Structure 1
Amino acid sequence: MNAGILGVGKYLPEKVVTNFDLEKTIDTSDEWIRTRTGIEERRIADDSIDTSDMAYEAAVQALQDAAITAEEIDLILVATVTPDKAFPSVACIIQDKLGARKAAAMDISAACAGFTYGIVTASQYIKSGDYRHILVVGVEKLSKITDWNDRNTAVLFGDGAGAVVMGEVGENKGILSFELGSDGAGGKHLEKADQFITMNGREVYKFAVRQMGESSLNVLQKAGLTKDDVSFLIPHQANIRIMEASRQRLELPVEKMSKVVHKYGNTSSASIPVALCEEVEAGKINDGDLIILVGFGAGLTWGAAAIRWGK
C-alpha cells in the first residue's frame, strides 16, 4: 500500500506587513532584508485570529480539495510550535470544530520541519492499514513569539497555515522515501528563550545550507532515483540563499523551485504546505511529477521526502 496526498489547502491572514513598514519601527531597510533573505512582505494575524483558527481554515480547504468529509478522517496531526495554549492541542480544537468525530488528534513539535514529520508519521499509519484518511496541518502564529524590536528576527517571520489530506494512492505514487533527523546539541542556536524567538543566524545558516542539500540527495538515493528525475523542489521558505543552495545541489533550473518566501516570510511548519498548495493551484505540479519536500528547523531538526504526485 502506498500513502500520498489527496488534497491541499492553505490560509494566510489578510494583514500584510511590508519591509517598508518595518523600516518605520526598527533599524533596518527593505534593501537589507531583501538581499539577505529574499523577503519583501509577510502576513500577520490580528488578535482575533489564533493558531487553531488558521489551521481550521486550511483544513476545510484540504478536505474540499480531497473530496473527503470530516467524518471520514481517522487522525489529525498538527505541526506547530505556537499552539493556542499548552492544552488542549490545536489538533483537538480543530477536531471539534471540523466535526471529525471519530478522529484521534495530536500536535507535533518539530518547528519548521514539523510538516515533514507529520506527513511521514501519517504515511506509516496509512501503510499499516490502521487508518485510511489523515489530516496533516502545518500552522504557526509566530507573530506572538517574535520580538518586534529585534531587527535580527522581526524581519524573518510570518503567520499562516497549510494542510493536506493523506490516504492510499496508486502504485508508484505517494511518498517514495523520506529522511528525518535531529541534532539536539544545536538546539541552543534557535530557541524560544523566555517570551521570544532567539537565533544564532550564522550557525543556523551553516547547518541549513549543508543539511537541506544532503537530505534532498539522500531521499533520491533511497528511492533509487537521480537528480534528473526531479520535477519540482519545495524547500522550507526561510531564506532565499538557503533555498538556492538546495536547488543548486539538485542542479535544477530556477523555475523548478517553489518560491513564496518573498510574499510570506518564514512561516515555520506552515511554509512547505503553503508553498505546495500554491504550486498545485498554479498548475506547476502535475500527475506523475516527482517532487522533493525538504526543511530544517529548531531542535535542531530536519526532514525530507520524495513524493510521486497523484492519486
Structure 2
Amino acid sequence: MNVGIIGIGVFLPTERMTAEDIAEKANLPIEVVKIKMGITEKPIAGDNDHTVQMAIRAAEKALEHATIDAKDIDVIIYFGEEHKEYPLWTAGIKIQEELGATNAWAFDIQLRCGTAILAMKLAKSLMISDDNIRTVLLAGGYRNHDLIDYQNERTRFMFNLGAGGGALVLKRDVLENLIYESAIITDGSFSEDVIVPFGGTKQPLTPELLLQGLYRLDVTDPQGMKTRLEQRSLDNFIKVIRNSLSKSGFDEKNLAYIGMLHMKKSAHEFVLKSFHLKEENSIYLSNYGHIGQIDQILSLQLALKEKKIQDGDVITLVSAGIGYAWGAITIQWGKQRGGRDDSL
C-alpha cells in the first residue's frame, strides 16, 4: 500500500526582519548575523498573521495544488506550534471548520520543530491501519519569533526564528511522490534546556512577570547545553538520514536532495558533505530563517520551483526539535511505475 504527496502549500507573511534589524536589536556585528548565523532576512508575522490562520492559508494552497475539495479529506493533523491564538485549543478542529472539511476528523500533535516529520510518519501509519482513511491533510503554523528577546545572549542561536505556515496533502494508493520510511531519535537529557520559564503550572504568569517580559524563551544552562549538544546533534542528523534511507531500501548514493531546517551554514555544509552532496543538492534558507516545523515543506517547495528535484529523485527531509528530537523521512519524487507494498 503506497502513500504519496499530492499537494503542497506554503504561506509566508509579507513583513520581513533583515540581518541589519537583528544586528541592531541584538547589538551584534552584521557579519555575525549574516555569516555565522546565516541570516539575510526572515519573514515575521504581521498583526493578522496568527499561527493557525497561517496554517489555514497554507492548507488552502495545498488543496488547490492537489485539486481536491476539502470534503475529500478524511483526517486533519495539526503539526504547528503550541504558541498560537489561544493557549488551550485544538487547532486541527479549527482548520477543519474553516476549510469546510465536514467529512474529516482532526487532532493536534507536537514534537517542536520535528513535528512535520512525525506528522508524515503518523499519517502514513493511520492510512495503513485504517481502510477508511484515504486522504490526510497536514497543516501547521509557526511564529515563535514572538518569544525571542534579542537582548538575551543565551538565546542567540534562536535569533533566526521566523513565521509562516505549511501544509501537505497525502493520499493512499497513488503512484507519485511516494513516502517511504522515517527515523526519529529523541534525547530527554535536553528536555528542560530550552523553555519558557513562566506561564505554566510551575511558575504561573502574573501581571508583574508579564510586564518584565518573562514570557519568552530562555536557556537554563547555555554552556552545558552547547557542550553536550554540539557534536551529538550533527551525529544524530547523519544517523536519522542514514536510517531513513536504509529502512526505505535506498543506498546513500541514491540521495539527490536533502530538505533541511535552517541552521548554521557550517552545520548545513557538514551534513551535505557527509553524503557527498553539493550545495545544489539542498537549499540554505538564509532568506527565510528558521520557520520551525515549516522548514522542510518550504525547502521542498522551493526545490521543486527551482527544478532542483527531478522525477525519480530520492529526497530526504530532516529536522531537529528542541527537547531534543531529530527526524528524517525519505520520499521518491515523481510518477512511479510501481510502489513497494508496505503491508507485506
Short-chain TM bin: over 0.9
Q: Which of these two proteins has the greater Rg computed from alpha carbons?
A: 2
Counterpart among 211, 229, 247 of residue 272 in structure 2 = 247
Q: Distance in 1 between the 2:60 and 2:21 partners?
A: 32
In the TM superposition, what are the counterparts of 1:52-91 in structure 2 within 5 Å? Answer: 52-81=52-81, 82-91=83-92
Q: Distance in 2 between the 1:155 and 1:86 partners?
A: 23
Q: CA shift at 1:184, angstroms?
A: 1.5
Question: Does residue 305 of the first structure (1) align with residue 329 of the second (2)?
Answer: yes
Residues 1:88 and 1:254: Cα distance change in structure 2 (over 3 Å): same
Q: Secondary structure at the match of 1:231?
A: strand
Q: Distance in 2 between the 1:172 and 1:91 partners?
A: 26
Q: CA shift at 1:168, angstroms?
A: 1.8
**Residue 19 of structure 1: aligned partner:** 19
Question: Does residue 219 of the first structure (1) align with residue 254 of the second (2)?
Answer: no
Question: Does residue 198 of the first structure (1) align with residue 218 of the second (2)?
Answer: yes
Q: CA shift at 1:119, angstroms?
A: 0.6
Structure 1, unaligned runs of 5 or more: none
Residues 1:8 and 1:124: Cα distance change in structure 2 (over 3 Å): same
Residues 1:144 and 1:173: Cα distance change in structure 2 (over 3 Å): closer
Q: Distance in 2 between the 1:186 and 1:57 partners?
A: 33
**1:254 corresponds to which letter in structure 2?**
E
**Residue 314 of structure 2: aligned partner:** 290
Q: CA shift at 1:43, angstroms?
A: 0.8
**1:190 corresponds to which letter in structure 2?**
V
**Residue 32 of structure 1: aligned partner:** 32
Q: Distance in 1 between the 2:174 and 2:255 partners?
A: 19
Q: Distance in 2 between the 1:72 and 1:212 partners?
A: 36
TM-score (norm 2): 0.85
Please provide the CA RMSD for this pair.
1.8
CA deviation profile, 1:134-178 (whole Å, cap 9, x unmatched): 111232111222223324156221111111100125459512211
Query: What percent of counterpart residues are identical?
Result: 26
Residues 1:24 and 1:236: Cα distance change in structure 2 (over 3 Å): closer
Q: Secondary structure at the match of 1:279?
A: helix
Counterpart among 163, 169, 182 of residue 165 in structure 1 = 169
Q: Secondary structure at the match of 1:178?
A: strand
TM-score (norm 1): 0.93
Q: CA shift at 1:207, angstroms?
A: 3.3
**Residue 100 of structure 1: aligned partner:** 101
Q: Distance in 2 between the 1:127 and 1:75 partners?
A: 13
Q: Secondary structure at the match of 1:211?
A: helix
- Once the two structures are overlaid, the 10-residue window that deviates more, 68-77 or 144-153, is 144-153
Residues 1:60 and 1:226: Cα distance change in structure 2 (over 3 Å): same
Aligned length: 310
Q: CA shift at 1:3, angstroms?
A: 1.0
Q: CA shift at 1:254, angstroms?
A: 1.4
Q: CA shift at 1:16, angstroms?
A: 0.7
Q: Distance in 2 between the 1:238 and 1:161 partners?
A: 19
**1:251 corresponds to which letter in structure 2?**
H
Q: Distance in 1 between the 2:150 and 2:132 partners?
A: 45
CA deviation profile, 1:191-212 (whole Å, cap 9, x unmatched): 3322222243624443321211
Q: Distance in 2 between the 1:18 and 1:308 partners?
A: 35
Q: Distance in 2 between the 1:275 and 1:124 partners?
A: 24
Contact 2:296 2:317 in 1 (8 A): yes
- Once the two structures are overlaid, the 10-residue window that deviates more, 74-83 or 9-18, is 74-83
In the TM superposition, what are the counterparts of 1:41-56 in structure 2 within 5 Å? Answer: 41-56=41-56
Q: Secondary structure at the match of 1:218?
A: helix
Question: Does residue 120 of the first structure (1) align with residue 121 of the second (2)?
Answer: yes
Contact 1:237 1:266 in 2 (8 A): yes
Structure 2, unaligned runs of 5 or more: 199-214, 336-344
CA deviation profile, 1:110-139 (whole Å, cap 9, x unmatched): 011010001110111122323111111232
Counterpart among 258, 263, 268 of residue 238 in structure 1 = 263
**Residue 150 of structure 2: aligned partner:** 148
